[in-house]
Amino acid sequence: FRNWHLITGALSVGAYQQVVTVSNSIIATKDDSLFIHENDSWRFLYTSPGRINWINSSQGKLLIAETNAAGDSRIVVTERDGTVSQTYEQRELLRSPLDAVLKGNDIWIADAVSGLLQFSGNGVKRYQPNSPYSVSTGQMIYASNSLWVTSATLNSEYQNSFSKNGFFQYNNMTWKNFTPAALPALDSAYDLVSVAVSSNDRSIWLGSLGGGLVRFREAEPLQIFKQQSGISPSVFQPGQYRVAGLT
């Protein structure tokens, strides 16, 4: 690649996010619009009413992952000429699609929250392994017939990884994941590294390396303690409330 040529004409100058091929045609993403290259020229193909997260090609069709202003996700399937042939949306399950492929009349979607989804004429089928949401590198305790596991780890330099993978419970041969997708308040409690159980009410307490102290109890609102709670901010990181250990 010694020589580069700036393409103009139907394509405006600016940042382009992704390029894929569909039936020997090149399709490029720029913000909320798609452009196609065929017959030695570029032309406009499609505009999303929301944000385009990614595009993919499968079985000669174009798959477009979109998010609207309300944060709802959907996948739009179009023909090569931009005609929409199918739209897949399911607010409860289609939360954060990462990739998708077509197989016959079905679409298989890899979702970061819901696992593997199969959309077919019979509805939606969910495949989710019985496992923690992510690699578990934090503290573990066994209490009230459950194993409680935190997802982050404390390195020797006390540096943040800003993990927002939450915490996990193993009970009766089943894993249950508690992530910001299920508990939005957890979004500010990144890097959960420690866990303890209260002998008074059996509530679970978790230490965040930056987001303070978290109290969790089933069927009760999640509580986070940091500002004006008695927990002092970090001397070196004044905006962080670090709770590295619990007993």
Q: Give the model confidence (pLDDT) of 123-170 as tens digits.
A: 999 998 899 988 888 899 998 899 999 999 877 777 888 899 999 999
Query: Alpha carbon of 63 to those of 20, 59, 171: distances in Å?
Result: 10, 10, 39
Choose the weakest-confidence range: 130-134, 188-192, 212-216: 130-134
**Cα-trace Rg, the chain:** 23
The overall average pLDDT reported for the chain is: 91
Which pLDDT score, from 0 to 100, does residue 1 have?
59
Which pLDDT score, from 0 to 100, does residue 121 have?
84
- Joined tokens for residue 35: 């452009």
Which pLDDT score, from 0 to 100, does residue 11 have?
78
Task: Name 1's Cβ contacts closer than 8 Å, sequence gap at least 6.
Answer: none
pLDDT, tens only, 15-47? 899 999 998 899 999 999 999 998 888 899 999
The pLDDT of residue 8 is above 70: no
The answer to whether the CB of 179 falls within 8 A of the CB of 170 is: no
Which pLDDT score, from 0 to 100, does residue 27 have?
94
